[in-house]
Amino acid sequence: MKYDVLIIGAGPGGIFSAYELVKKCPGLKIAVFDTGYALEQRHCPIDGKKIKSCINCRVCSIMSGFGGAGAYSDGKYNITNQFGGTLYEYIGKEQALDLMHYVDQINLSHGGEGTRLYSTANSEIKKLCLQHDLHLLDAQVRHLGTDINYVVLQNIFAELKDKVDFHFRSPVDHIEVLPDGYRLTVGDQTFDGTYCVVSAGRSGSKWMETVCRSLGIATKSNRVDIGVRVELPAEIFAHLTDQLYESKIVYRTEKYGDLVRTFCMNPRGAVVNENTNGIVTVNGHSYEDPAKQTQNTNFALLVAKHFSEPFKDSNGYGESIARLSNMLGGGVMVQRFGDLIRGRRSNVQRIAESFVTPTLAATPGDLSLVIPKRILDGIIEMIYKLDRIAPGTANEDTLLYGVEVKFYNMEVAINSDLETSYRNLFVIGDGSGITHSLSHASASGVYVARVIAGREEENGTNA
């Protein structure tokens, strides 16, 4: 089958490439391939009753399918260059922000209207943080919520489905370079196209490595973030979350000089499992609908670990730690902060007697048997620091879930068009290693679509 543009991955990167191409070049024949299912068919079997934890489905509906890893996310759309990726290094800060705003407007016009845009600018909280050597990063945050995020995706799909060929349950095996384009192999079928946009996200990271190896595209990788997800009564962080929704706070530890940061804050949300390549880690989300909200707020505390030569497998390091928690806990482990400080494990009784009711059925255990001392020390130091700006954070019953690992895809060598050394072969989104968020991944999709539209214009082929 012959197309003009082949897009691999139906996450935010792939979706916004397709969306923008349809707008800018309505005459192009576009195909999108995804390992996972269409949005309505995406179902995680964990129901909290019969199936309580991850059963390692062959295709993970949390990570794959229309909407990608973002489909069941909290839909926190961060408009900033300070975190969420380094797209700005390739396309410039102003353009990166413009594209994030552009995608925000598309989200609003597809069901997101009425959602709130928070901002950290000039806030009193910033001053409070600084007084305690904590550093609040600048951002605007649109909170769509898991429910509205889903509606936005439904509406975008409805708009695209007659203009783009979506191939679900279609994992791309190989990308072959042809004299005038690319050939994708999906099982026993092949698809040819002039342009190829690869947006394979986190779940496609291993596959992406094989593609780069086989095509001789350079990559580099040296970072992984390891930590825990903290869960506490929503009141403790309400003065921050009511004003900012999400606060990204960074702290440099006294003991080791490591940077610890808050990540993915979910006011009145729920802690959830995440499955990456068969390894169960922890994550969180929350709903915009008050009826679905919980009594608790959760957020991650992560320590960035950078490795230098000769060690190259930073993700392997993170995976080994997560595997250890899976081995001891059968999945995610939970521990009361008070138990951790006393050097004892949490057990079912201690968790049951806790004043904080866990929102995830995790196995009570001892995180100090899993997380390296240096990282755990940093997390404990940060919890005591946060206790100064949000008293109660260091309470005995604060729950810590582990392990939260933020894997980074290796960085693929691309130029300022987000193009590899092969003409018209682009790598975008989290799969490129340069974005780590909904906003940056979506913006990279729009950007590359405009590059393609520009080339079509030059060729005089844009209908």
Q: Which residues bind ligand FAD (CB under 6 A)?
A: 8-14, 33-36, 64-65, 68-70, 72-76, 78, 84, 171-172, 199-204, 207, 264, 274, 283, 285, 429-431, 436-439, 441
Q: How far is the CB of 173 from ligand FAD (least distance, A)?
A: 7
Q: How far is the CB of 336 from ligand FAD (least distance, A)?
A: 24
Give the whole-angstrom CA distance, residue 204 versus residue 434. Answer: 14
Q: How far is the CB of 31 from ligand FAD (least distance, A)?
A: 11
| Tokens 């990608």 sit on residue | 68
* 115 vs 346, beta carbon nearer ligand FAD: 115
* 129 vs 443, beta carbon nearer ligand FAD: 443
Q: What is the DSSP-derived secondary structure letter of residue 187?
A: T
* 395 vs 442, beta carbon nearer ligand FAD: 442
Residues 6+ apart with CB under 8 A from 83: 137, 139, 248, 437
* 385 vs 440, beta carbon nearer ligand FAD: 440
CA angle 172, 326, 405 (to 5 degrees): 65
3-state class (DSSP) for residue 238: helix
Q: How far is the CB of 121 from ligand FAD (least distance, A)?
A: 19
Q: How far is the CB of 252 from ligand FAD (least distance, A)?
A: 24
Run of H or E residues at 172: none
Q: Tell me if 422 sits within 8 A of 176, measured CB to CB.
A: no
Q: φ and ψ at 310, to 5 degrees?
A: -90, -5
Pick the closest to residue 276 from 427, 85, 431, 60 (CA basis): 60
Cα 225 to Cα 240, 302, 408, distances in angstroms: 24, 6, 8
- The number of helices, as runs of H, and strands, as runs of E, in the chain is 12, 22
Q: How far is the CB of 63 from ligand FAD (least distance, A)?
A: 6
* 211 vs 394, beta carbon nearer ligand FAD: 211
Q: How far is the CB of 459 from ligand FAD (least distance, A)?
A: 27
* 241 vs 395, beta carbon nearer ligand FAD: 241
Q: What is the CA radius of gyration of the chain?
A: 22
Q: What is the DSSP-derived secondary structure letter of residue 111?
A: I
* 224 vs 340, beta carbon nearer ligand FAD: 224
Q: How far is the CB of 368 from ligand FAD (least distance, A)?
A: 26
CA torsion angle 142 143 144 146 (round to 10): 150
Edge to edge, the sheet with strand 399-407 lists: 135-136, 249-252, 259-266, 296-306, 223-233, 399-407, 333-336, 363-364
* 25 vs 103, beta carbon nearer ligand FAD: 103
| Tokens 């206790």 sit on residue | 387
* 97 vs 441, beta carbon nearer ligand FAD: 441
Q: How far is the CB of 313 from ligand FAD (least distance, A)?
A: 20
